[in-house]
Structures are given as structure tokens and as C-alpha cells.
Amino acid sequence: MAAETQSWVLMATARAPTNIAVIKYWGKRDEALILPINDSISVTLDPDHLSATTTVAVSPSFKQDRMWLNGKEISLSGGRYQNCLREIRKRAGDVEDEKKGIRIKKEDWEKMHLHIASYNNFPTAAGLASSAAGFACLVFTPAKLMNVKEEHGNFSAIARQGSGSACPSMYGGFVKWKMGNDADGSDSIAVQLASKTKFGMTLLLF
């Protein structure tokens, strides 16, 4: 990894909306992987008013992964956080920033630590599924930082492991969360039913 002795920071920021289910799922066939027993359909809400914005930073000076939610540090020791971050790190690619002289190889990401700051523009635990927006961002933002080359549907399968409601927040408009049939949950993903241009952009990378 080049420029290791320098005090550099590389960042990415994204925003994801919450959503409301119009056809709900009625239970889970697998609690650990958060796999539903039926398909569901959700509508994405206006990201200008009901969304999470997350910034993820990486630096050789960071000693451990840390996260702040609405300005308050929270623990990342929970299995759902760890599952999401582990899956993204497994898919990381090479990253190079010529202007800063930074070159990170894909295998280096296992040793690099992240600082994550997330902010909801609506009250947490107010019945508006803040975890949907939060976990969608928790997956999408580090994935962009680490140059992960995946489709949104694959990101939704990872976000689902943090919060089932995060799965459809990977898209805008009306979104179907497919229950899937595979035991590992790889086919339990979100697919968009209506164009996001009609309902607003879901994920915005700044």
C-alpha cells in the first residue's frame, strides 16, 4: 500500500431513503440471514425528507472500526454490522487516488479500518424504518469506497443481513423484495418495479 506513512484520509458519502411496505412479509424462514417467507413490495419515500446520509472514511491512522449515529458513537460489535462489513470487504477491489498518491490493493482492505458517520434527517425509532436507510447506506457507501463491482441487487442481499427493510432501500420507486429459494439467501434480493426517475433517486454518491 503506497503512502502508508502519510496522514491521508479517503472518503465516500451516500444517501439512502427509508421505505414503507405496501405488501408486507409475514415472517422469516431464516432469522440469521433474514430470509422472508413471502415476497413483499415497498415504496421508497422522499430522500430529501426521509433518508440517511452516511460518510465512510479510511486511513492508515485509524486503529479500529468506529461508527457514529446522529453524532453519538455506537458499537459495531453486533453481528448484523459485522456481517455487512465483512461481505463488503470480501468483494473489495483495488483503489488508487493519483492526486493523493494513494494505492490500496484489494487484499489490504482486510487490514484497513473504517470510520463511519451516519445521520438520519428524521427521528430514529419513530416507526419509519430508520434501519432500512441506515443499513442500505452502511453497505453501499463502503462498497463505493472500496471499489466493489456489484449490481444493486447483490448489494441488497448484503443489506438484508443487517435489516430486512434495507433490502428495498437500494432502489427508488416501487420495489419488490423477492423471498428467494436458495438456502444461502443469495436469490433473496430487491428488484425495482417502477422507474426511479418517477419517484426520485435512491442512492446518491457525492
The CATH number of residue 47's host domain is: 3.30.230.10
pLDDT at 204 over 70: no
Evaluate whether residue 170 is within a structural domain: yes
**Is residue 129 within 8 Å of residue 24, measured between CB atoms?**
no
Evaluate whether residue 6 is within a structural domain: no
Domain range for 140: 17-52+76-111+127-195
Evaluate whether residue 186 is within a structural domain: yes
pLDDT of residue 125: 58
pLDDT at 139 over 90: yes
What mean pLDDT do residues 72-94 have?
Answer: 94
pLDDT of residue 205: 40
What mean pLDDT do residues 131-136 have?
Answer: 89
pLDDT at 202 over 70: no
For the chain, give the mean pLDDT.
87
Question: Alpha-carbon distance 87 to 72, whole Å?
Answer: 25
pLDDT of residue 127: 54
What mean pLDDT do residues 73-87 have?
Answer: 93
pLDDT at 55 over 90: yes
Evaluate whether residue 65 is within a structural domain: no
Evaluate whether residue 70 is within a structural domain: no
Question: Alpha-carbon distance 35 to 176, whole Å?
Answer: 14
Evaluate whether residue 166 is within a structural domain: yes
pLDDT at 128 over 90: no
Evaluate whether residue 60 is within a structural domain: no
Total of domains in the chain: 1
Evaluate whether residue 71 is within a structural domain: no
pLDDT at 97 over 60: yes
Nearest Cα to Cα of residue 80 among 32, 44, 46, 134? 32
Question: Alpha-carbon distance 23 to 175, whole Å?
Answer: 10
Other C-beta atoms lying within 10 Å of the C-beta of residue 180: 19
